[in-house]
Structure 1
Amino acid sequence: MGLRSLYDAHIMPRLVTCACSQGAILKRRSQIVPLASGKVFELGCGGGLNQQFYDKANISQFSGIDPHEKLLDGAREAAQVNGWDVDIKSGVGEDIPFADGTFDSVVCTYTLCSVDDPAQVMREMRRILKPGGQLLFLEHGRAPDHSVAKWQDRIEPIWRPLAGGCHLTRPISSALRGAGFDVEPLGQSYLAKTPKPMGWMEWGIARKAGF
């Protein structure tokens, strides 16, 4: 195994998990994840970082996918401790292995930045939602301030391979609207004590348009 493969397989997932579990980010998770209910699907569930924030009594079934097999064991263990009916698989967001209209809630936190085809992933999340279902999102992406966005453009080519394919320049709410969601913003801000090019956050509820 070469250095690059070693980094991607063993080091990068741990670094990303550590970065995504800092206090300020956990606080944001605690504001959006408890809104999930019913049959829940979590995109990028590896590591189980969100599990502590679910309202356990409101969840009848928990499913999820993640491409990093080494992170899935922790997610499975945490979900089973909660006593849920669990179906967690290895997979990618561009091809979610669940049927149309299966879930009441889809949870997506700090995941759209690193998928290969965000538009396809959004279509897939919309597809697996029941009519009237909700996508709960918490993502970082392109900043609204031009000066910050320019730095994001400059930094991204260096940042992306070090951070597991994470993009800094992807729009969030506008992209969800373009994918057929009605978006109810719950908040947006720069993350405190974080360089602004890496710190623009948006979170809210996206519902299937037309329902």
Structure 2
Amino acid sequence: MKLANAFGLWTELNFALQAALIPTLKDVWQKPTIISHLSRTFMAHVWIAFASQVDANARTVKRELFLPNATGVVLDIGAGLGHGIQYLDGSKVTKYVAVEPNVRMHPELRRAAAAAGYLESDGTLIILGCGAEEVATILESLDSTIPAVDTITSVMSMCSIPSAEEALRGLVRRILKPGGQLLFYEHVLSPRKDVAWWQRLWAPLWQIFYDGCRLDCPTDIWIDEITDVDEHGEKMSVWSERKLWGVPGETEETVFHHVLGKFVKRGGKMLD
């Protein structure tokens, strides 16, 4: 792996510091208690500054993934400022459930949802300040004890979920309906050993500035390996359909190795 690619993330980190360091310090000065959530505060300022450009860079692949596939009740993991709403077909998506633990993003998220016709007042919008790992809280918000979501979407958010492998199992088994879809665009651990080595090296530093984001999560593998049980109590894949693909034109020598996925859940008895 070329050193220029291995150290490329430092350019992004430099831009992030320029955009977010002073606003973060001002926030701490005005409200010292937020120092306990310093990374989350820093990330909010970074995302406000760069989210639109990051979204634009992957607009085509996200439109092709989400627009024709997302239907019914949609649960968006790490909804951020609401950029993902533009990739939903309002004639097919009946409710938008936004999971975004960074509450500083909620006002803009609410505005984006309202512009697309999703409102809390009529029940078509739910904004949750919990994490994706808080499955019981999500189910409670849906007023359900059984899987009640038709589509789960995620854009570069699974990397920040605490105990992500366990959380993803919980979401799929307990939140996603049989026949429902998991659609995602994520950066994951590279299959190339040299690239993965650098990802693991930088991951502890990166997560400090980016609210827990890890560069070395094999999220695609964790999702692919989620199991269920058949009518005989035997373990089997929870998926009836699995499709993974990369971003056209993306170099293999990047610590931000992206994959897109479309997974469809089969029926069957749920594991706890």
Question: Offset of 1:18 from its aligned partner?
Answer: 4.5
Name the larger-Rg structure: 2
Pair 1:200-2:231 in alignment: no
Q: Is the 8 A contact 2:180 2:265 kept in 1?
A: yes
Aligned to 1:28: 61
- CA distance in 2: counterparts of 1:94 and 1:105, whole angstroms: 17
Aligned to 2:246: 188
Aligned to 1:173: 220
- CA distance in 2: counterparts of 1:119 and 1:203, whole angstroms: 17
Pair 1:8-2:8 in alignment: no
Question: Offset of 1:17 from its aligned partner?
Answer: 5.2
1:56 to 77, 90, 108: 90
Moved more, 15-24 or 153-162: 15-24
List alignment gaps of at least 5 residues for structure 1.
none
Q: Is the 8 A contact 1:24 1:192 kept in 2?
A: no
3-state SS of paired residue (1:93): coil
Equivalent position amino acid for 2:109 in 1? A
Pair 1:123-2:181 in alignment: no
Deviations 1:42-97 (A, max 9, x none): 11113101011111111111112111111112222221222231111211111132
Pair 1:89-2:128 in alignment: yes
- Please give the root-mean-square deviation of Cα atoms over the aligned residues, in Å: 2.5
How many equivalent pairs are there?
210
Deviations 1:162-193 (A, max 9, x none): 12111111112211022234362242148748
Return the TM-score normalized by structure 1.
Answer: 0.87
Aligned to 1:110: 156
Q: Is the 8 A contact 2:188 2:218 kept in 1?
A: yes
Gap change, CA 1:27 and 1:193, over 3 Å in 2: farther
Pair 1:134-2:193 in alignment: no
Aligned to 1:154: 201
Equivalent position amino acid for 2:254 in 1? K
- CA distance in 1: counterparts of 2:46 and 2:249, whole angstroms: 18
Q: Is the 8 A contact 1:191 1:201 kept in 2?
A: no
- CA distance in 1: counterparts of 2:60 and 2:49, whole angstroms: 15
Larger strand proportion of the pair = 1
List alignment gaps of at least 5 residues for structure 2.
1-31, 119-123, 228-237
Deviations 1:94-123 (A, max 9, x none): 113223211111111111101111122212
1:43 to 77, 94, 98: 77
Question: Offset of 1:29 from its aligned partner?
Answer: 2.3
- CA distance in 2: counterparts of 1:107 and 1:87, whole angstroms: 15
Q: Is the 8 A contact 1:93 1:124 kept in 2?
A: no
Gap change, CA 1:37 and 1:92, over 3 Å in 2: same
Identity of aligned residues (%): 24
Return the TM-score normalized by structure 2.
Answer: 0.69
